[in-house]
A = this chain, B = another copy of it.
């Protein structure tokens, strides 16, 4: 199969209670495609400025990520600054400089148009139709979204959901989107709008996959030192969709394992700033941690 990821490539300025990092490479498309690259050869669609590091583009190529859909434009790369509290789930956006991402109109290169899986990685839901119309007949449309779109464009977002098969959101976003405190009720509301699968990410508590007639839960790995939580959700989606793309079939066992691989990739992503850990990660480490996730919950 084939997976195309439409998302952001960015500079992130990150402040945690113990450290600050200025303008390190991040972005939903970056995390997601690196995570997916352990399973498949993802195609990436996005835009960067001339200031985007050449060695990251070289890294993408080494990882067999297809960058033909990556535009390099005159100007500066998208810059986001976020601060984390002692509880890594508490994140505050300090500033967002859209730069070249501001008037991004994703264009899929011709060879991408027959992709089987498309991931709309946290981009303006107003762009979804435009992207989907460029695809022939994707077997699976997945999307992620954040508080920003839920609060500023709820109508557009709900309409966008009609064409989505898998929605990835964190539990706070699920509640905000649906107005339901109870996750089971919230999942039903979302599923009645379109998505047959809701993947509710719960940070350290794990993730729940709600299907039409099944539910699967993966428990978060216990991590003593969360260095930088940025990109955990995007790495989750990358691992999840990359594995599904590799397997080719949306069976229940595959969906369960996809959620575990997603959790595995997210658990690595938070061990270092930016994509530091995803850069050095080896396939054998992924398999080892997959088994660790199984041992954690086996009884």
List the interface of chain A (C-beta within 8 A of B). 86-87, 181-185, 202, 204-206, 208, 215-219, 222-226, 253, 256-257, 259-260, 294, 296-299
In the bound complex, what is the Cα–Cα distance between A184 and B257 (angstroms)?
25
Contact partner of A184 (CB less than 8 A), chosen from B224, B294, B297, is: B224
In the bound complex, what is the Cα–Cα distance between A256 and B296 (angstroms)?
10
Contact partner of A260 (CB less than 8 A), chosen from B224, B253, B299, is: B299
**Residues of chain B within 8 A of A87, CB atoms compared:** 181
What is the oligomeric copy number? 2
Contact partner of A256 (CB less than 8 A), chosen from B181, B182, B299, is: B299
A223 touches B184 (CB 8 A): yes
In the bound complex, what is the Cα–Cα distance between A182 and B222 (angstroms)?
9
A219 touches B184 (CB 8 A): no
Main secondary structure of the interface of A (DSSP, over half): mixed
Q: Can you list 21 contacts pairing A with B, beta carbon distance less than 8 Å?
A: A86-B181, A182-B223, A182-B224, A182-B225, A183-B204, A183-B222, A184-B222, A185-B224, A205-B205, A205-B206, A215-B222, A216-B296, A217-B219, A217-B222, A217-B297, A218-B219, A218-B297, A219-B219, A257-B299, A294-B299, A297-B297
In the bound complex, what is the Cα–Cα distance between A124 and B209 (angstroms)?
42
- Which 4 residue pairs are nearest across A and B when measured between Cβ atoms? A205-B205, A256-B299, A184-B224, A217-B219
**Residues of chain B within 8 A of A86, CB atoms compared:** 181
For A175, the closest partner residue in chain B by CB is B87
In the bound complex, what is the Cα–Cα distance between A202 and B171 (angstroms)?
15
**Residues of chain B within 8 A of A226, CB atoms compared:** 182
B256 touches A216 (CB 8 A): no
For A293, the closest partner residue in chain B by CB is B299
In the bound complex, what is the Cα–Cα distance between A257 and B298 (angstroms)?
9
For A184, the closest partner residue in chain B by CB is B224
Q: Max chain B CB contacts within 10 Å: which of A86, A202, A226, A297?
A: A297
A296 touches B185 (CB 8 A): no
**Residues of chain B within 8 A of A183, CB atoms compared:** 204, 222
**Residues of chain B within 8 A of A259, CB atoms compared:** 299
In the bound complex, what is the Cα–Cα distance between A185 and B223 (angstroms)?
9
In the bound complex, what is the Cα–Cα distance between A91 and B253 (angstroms)?
38
In the bound complex, what is the Cα–Cα distance between A224 and B182 (angstroms)?
7
Nearest chain B CB to A215 CB, angstrom units = 6
In the bound complex, what is the Cα–Cα distance between A183 and B205 (angstroms)?
11
**Residues of chain B within 8 A of A260, CB atoms compared:** 299
Nearest chain B CB to A113 CB, angstrom units = 34
